[in-house]
Chains A and B, each alone.
Chain A
């Protein structure tokens, strides 16, 4: 991807005052490069590259000009940036929950534990543009008064973890991390830490437990991390892409970021496109881009086949049949109107040869395998659901199983400590809702309607 040619495009922003026309970088494939600003450069991950593109200038400006926290938070609110980790919570609002005056260490945590099937965007940020994440975190730390930060990285992407650690060393060396930055009294230390194969650690309180060296079992909320986080101290947790958006927002203003998107969905966003497309990969596009355009960027459906279904935001978002997504736009409201949600922007594309029964079996296995086991409905329910679907795939299903699956899933949902319970129920409910005849056929014939096996 890094070899793509650059063209610079300018776009008039309706309401940005100072910077009347923010320069929005795009590339020839039509990507809008905000969090992947360095993508067209030769050594995208290097400090020199990032500095050449104006990197760390915002951190320096905010710190040396002593810009006040409420002013920064206000820009983030204006930007309409919503948390990119999946829940879509407004980032500016979250920042305003951190206690302003607190006698002790406050922490900043970045969630790079992406392991929701179909999600691989944060990996590209840490391997192609790590410094923008570091600058975004340093700006957040300055704003929130956090002294120490951790970036918790999915253990499976070890080579990328090492790239990020190298970037941290570079940033420290250059004086962008550490004590008394730019001669001010602002100090910030940032470290990389890692998971080691547990999806549940993507949940923020499980992640905090893991940072503390424990098994990743989510905590009851409240208290929320803003009051009781890492080592029991006030902690702000954001996703990688959320933090990486901050330097751009500081440079061009919140309004310019909001204007990249549509009402209620500010900015551009990384969409991870996987499955049955010609060119799987990450595509950074403006919120509100039509699904059809994104599919076209990804080369369309592979092998000249037809689109059957899409999971638009990772398996914790409802599957959509082709007809439901074809005219949808890729933003929070657009996808929710069309019957699903944006999640982490993890678009899993399925062509007309896909057996939905077997696909659901694999997803149910995943949630069963990754349940941390604390809550009975989740632990028992996910196992039960998986065994029923396995039974159907083995040709031993009964018609009643479909209602049983629906009932069971409804009973997991909303009765658990964390959202993994709801996430596990979503594929079951939505697959059966939209593809019921396929399930019925499988039960009646003991084989798939699609592949005959």
Chain B
């Protein structure tokens, strides 16, 4: 079952499309439910499919095709570091090493306290701010240094 808030947000997205094209809203519906629940379980994907009145497989195909949907738990904070060329040229490897060393996990692993997960990302279209990362798909942190990463982790640890 979707929450009332999720439904309200999905309805806002549905209004962008013709009435008989409810599937079009699946991208945003999955995003909305993922943000609310932390990740997309099979049940969550089913809930979205049911609400939109589309086959479950259609929703699952979308959820598994796009990299920013998480079909596994990612902890409280998912940290995605871009390692593509422009970021690599400005030291993204060092940022990744520092994060992995500090948190004691590799890519796609969640820390024991369930707080953090590190992911490798492709180009985010912000290469002028390299090296960079985003937290939970929404908050971009650019021009990173290892000190800035430490400050960010400290702040997130408080939250």
Contact = CB atoms under 8 A, between A and B. Distances in A.
Interface of A: 105, 114-120, 122-123, 150, 154-159, 191, 193-199, 210-216, 231, 272-276, 280-282, 311, 315, 346, 348, 350, 354, 359, 362-363, 366, 369-370
Interface in B68-113: 68-69, 83-86, 88-90
Contact of B127 (A120, A195, A214): A120
A369 B122 contact: yes
Given A193-B28, A196-B27, A215-B61, A363 B85 contact: yes
B23 A196 contact: no
Contacts of B65: 198, 215-216
Contacts of A359: 85, 88-89
A400 to B, nearest CB: 27
Contact of A157 (B16, B90, B140): B140
Contact of B123 (A117, A158, A193, A275): A117
B16 A158 contact: no
B89 A272 contact: no
B23 A214 contact: yes
The interface centre, meaning the residue of A120, A122, A210, A348 with most chain B CB atoms within 10 A of its CB, is A120
A196 B137 CA distance: 9
B130 A214 contact: no
B126 A120 contact: yes
A191 B15 CA distance: 10
A158 B138 contact: yes
A128 B98 CA distance: 33
A398 to B, nearest CB: 26
A348 B86 contact: yes
Contacts of B159: none
B79 to A, nearest CB: 13
B62 interface: yes
Interface of B is mostly: mixed
Given A120-B127, A197-B67, A215 B62 contact: yes
B86 A117 contact: yes
The interface centre, meaning the residue of B30, B58, B86 with most chain A CB atoms within 10 A of its CB, is B86
Interface of B: 16, 18, 21, 23-28, 30-31, 54, 58, 61-62, 65-69, 83-86, 88-90, 121-130, 134, 137-140
Contacts of A154: 124-125
B123 A276 contact: no
Contacts, number: 155
Contacts of A191: 16
A120 B125 contact: yes
A274 B88 CA distance: 11
Contact of B26 (A123, A213, A231): A213
Q: Which 10 A-B pairs have the closest CB atoms?
A: A197-B67, A197-B68, A215-B65, A156-B124, A213-B23, A274-B86, A196-B66, A191-B16, A213-B26, A274-B127
B66 A117 contact: no
A315 B127 contact: no
B52 to A, nearest CB: 8
Nearest to B119: A197
Contacts of A117: 84-86, 122-123, 127
B127 A196 contact: no
A347 to B, nearest CB: 10
24 contacts: A115-B125, A117-B85, A156-B68, A156-B124, A158-B134, A159-B139, A191-B16, A195-B66, A196-B27, A196-B68, A196-B69, A197-B67, A198-B67, A212-B21, A212-B24, A213-B24, A213-B25, A213-B54, A231-B21, A274-B127, A275-B85, A275-B90, A276-B90, A369-B122
Contacts of A118: 85-86, 123, 127
Given A196-B68, A370-B122, A213 B86 contact: no
Contacts of B138: 158-159
B55 to A, nearest CB: 12
A158 B23 contact: no
Given A117-B127, A120-B127, A366-B84, A197 B122 contact: yes
Nearest to A152: B27
Contacts of B122: 115, 117, 197, 199, 366, 369-370
B43 to A, nearest CB: 20
Contacts of A115: 122-125
Contacts of A281: 128
Contacts of B83: 362
A211 B24 CA distance: 6
Contacts of B134: 156, 158
Nearest to A281: B128
Contact of A199 (B54, B62, B123): B123
Nearest to B90: A275
A174 B62 CA distance: 36
Contacts of B61: 214-215
A40 B134 CA distance: 27
Contacts of A272: 127-128
Contact of A196 (B24, B31, B129, B140): B31
Contacts of B25: 213
